[in-house]
Amino acid sequence: MEWKMRPRPVAVALALALAVSAPALAACGNGSDSPGAATTAASADPGEPQVGGSVTFGVAVETTGLDPTISSAVGASGATELASLYDVVLRYNPESKKYENGTAQDLTSNDDYTEWTLKLRPGIKFSDGTPYDADAVRLSIERHRAPQSRSLARDYVQTIDTMTVVDPLTLKFSLVEAWSSFPYLLTTQAGFITSPTAVAKLGEKLNTEPVGAGAGPFILESYTPKNSIVLKRNPDYWDGQVYLDSLKFVNFQGGTLTYEAFRSGQIQAGFLREATASFDAGEAKEPGYVATLGSGDILAINSAEGRPGHDRRVRQALAAAIDPKVLSDRVYDGKAIPNSSPFPAEFPWGPDVPGTTFDLAKARSLVEEAKADGWDGRLDLVASSAPLATKWAVTVQALLKQAGIEVDVREVDQSALTTAIFVKHDFDVAQSAFGIPSSDGAYIQLQENIGHADNRFGFHDEAFSAALAEVRTADTDAKRTAAYKKVALAWNESVPAVATASINSRIVWVPNLHGVKPTSQVALLFGKAWLSR
């Protein structure tokens, strides 16, 4: 049953219907993916689902845990694992551009999108036997909102003013301000609902041993950090038969090694985020799913006071010094999608504003100005130690040196990189990504990373914030396009980060794997996945 709104059609449904985004289910790839090219879905009827078999999935980055308020909880790291354990309140369908019900039975809004009412399906229980009800949803979301929360959803759940339990299955959300795309929130971290009983019982163990905490199609068998996460079928899943016996998540430290593991049969599915591996898998016409994301590669900038990036001239110099095509050629053998705009080329509300421009003379001039005012001209660049990431960091170092900037590269493993950026904020510049999708998630990615007052990159710009506020309340396609144009112009002037490439985030799987459903943030739902034999 598709998610629908009553008593009247609302703008979010209209916007999604008008969108023509890149993500598509794919039975065959396209190795020469041009920016925004989508592969097509076409496969023979595999017949009736069969019970049995296991799938090992190669993740892009190891998750930071299994507690939704701690896990990195995005498609490349954690969201697929969490959705398997906890299920989702709503699912975003990138083919239909609509929201569909997960544990929700219905979601409706008032006329001005300041109140939303969620109705849950009856009879759902967590795997500890306790009811999956409105109060459980309320308490779960409150964990993300808590002052001490480390959740990546903490920023956008602050849009909720109050949550009122109307009856055991009905929860009313009153928002601080109008938000026409509020349903998106329930497809992401905040939509992975945890059992209040399990949370109280497990404490910190919830992050590594979430026994009984979810209502998803799988339950935890084992979790060994730096090694694997193994889930087994939930025999009491509320949505009926789960076909796979087990689901295992492993990490091979980069897309190239992940793709090699897939080709050799070590894994049955894998997330290929790096441009070269994604391109090669497309050339081989591997089955799977691909989503083109803007700002898939960025040079993240710490704009906090006391850091070099607090000076707008330094940020502008970084943008002018970096040539996205050089990075594509030297790092990815020309297989990346060079793009200095934060948005992918096929963005449905395309602002028609080019990104920043490579201009070495301008970069050198800005660097000299900043040095004259006391900057020593040095930056600390934190990057992943994965092979292609190292190559990327060295190339950025060389490009910035041409502009008069000395860069000290500090290599760490991928989980330490996440901690350095998002937890400790211990960097001047860093290798990262925003991953701007062609959906309502674009607003979320911008807002949670750089849009709010206490954002993780210390970035503040009034014009940028005002433009994002217009995106939040826009209720027509034309209004969104106009608002995103202001966002793009403010990005170019204030440079919150240096976008260097859009990226085809590609998930490949074996031809006999069926029933996998994509959702927000390039995450997958395996609840009805099965293997034909």
For every residue of 40-85, DSSP letters joined together read: --------S-----EEEEEESS--S-SSTTTS--BTTBBHHHHHHH
CA 397, 399, 400: angle at the middle one, nearest 5? 65
CB 482 within 8 A of CB 419: no
Q: How confident is the model at residue 15 (pLDDT cuts 50, 70, 90)?
A: very low
CB 414 within 8 A of CB 433: no
What local confidence, expressed as pLDDT, does residue 453 receive? 79
> 524-525 and 513-514: which strand pairing?
unpaired
Q: What is the pLDDT of residues 436-449, one digit of tens each?
A: 998 898 998 898 88
Rounded distance, CA 288 to CA 397, Å?
A: 35
Phi-psi map region of 127: left, alpha, beta (phi>0 left; psi -120 to 50 alpha): alpha
Q: Give the count of alpha carbons within 13 A of 120, CB side only.
A: 29
Rounded distance, CA 25 to CA 115, Å?
A: 33
Q: Residue 435: pLDDT above 50?
A: yes
Count of CB atoms within 10 A of residue 408's CB?
A: 11
CB 512 within 8 A of CB 243: no
Rounded distance, CA 471 to CA 495, Å?
A: 19
DSSP class per residue in 399-417: HHHHTT-EEEEEEE-HHHH
Q: Which residue bears the tokens 């979010």?
A: 12
Residue 308 three-state SS: helix
What local confidence, expressed as pLDDT, does residue 34 receive? 35
CB 257 within 8 A of CB 272: no
User: DSSP secondary-structure letter at 18?
Assistant: H
Q: Residue 135: pLDDT above 90?
A: yes
Rounded distance, CA 241 to CA 526, Å?
A: 12
Q: Which residues contact 492 (CB under 8 A, 6 or more apart)?
A: 353, 355, 356
Tell me the average pLDDT across 127-147.
Answer: 97
Q: What is the pLDDT of residues 207-255, one digit of tens each?
A: 999 999 999 999 999 999 999 999 999 999 999 999 999 999 999 988 8
What local confidence, expressed as pLDDT, does residue 155 receive? 77
| Tokens linked to 452 | 């709010």
Q: What is the pLDDT of residues 42-54, one digit of tens each?
A: 456 889 999 999 9
CA distances from residue 252 to 96, 296, 378, 416 in whole angstroms, order as listed = 33, 20, 33, 16
What local confidence, expressed as pLDDT, does residue 45 receive? 80
CB 458 within 8 A of CB 444: no
Rounded distance, CA 412 to CA 417, Å?
A: 6
CA 505, 255, 321: angle at the middle one, nearest 5? 75
Q: Residue 154: pLDDT above 90?
A: no
Q: Residue 329: pLDDT above 50?
A: yes
| Tokens linked to 123 | 């009879």
Cα-Cα-Cα-Cα dihedral sign, residues 436, 523, 21, 3: negative
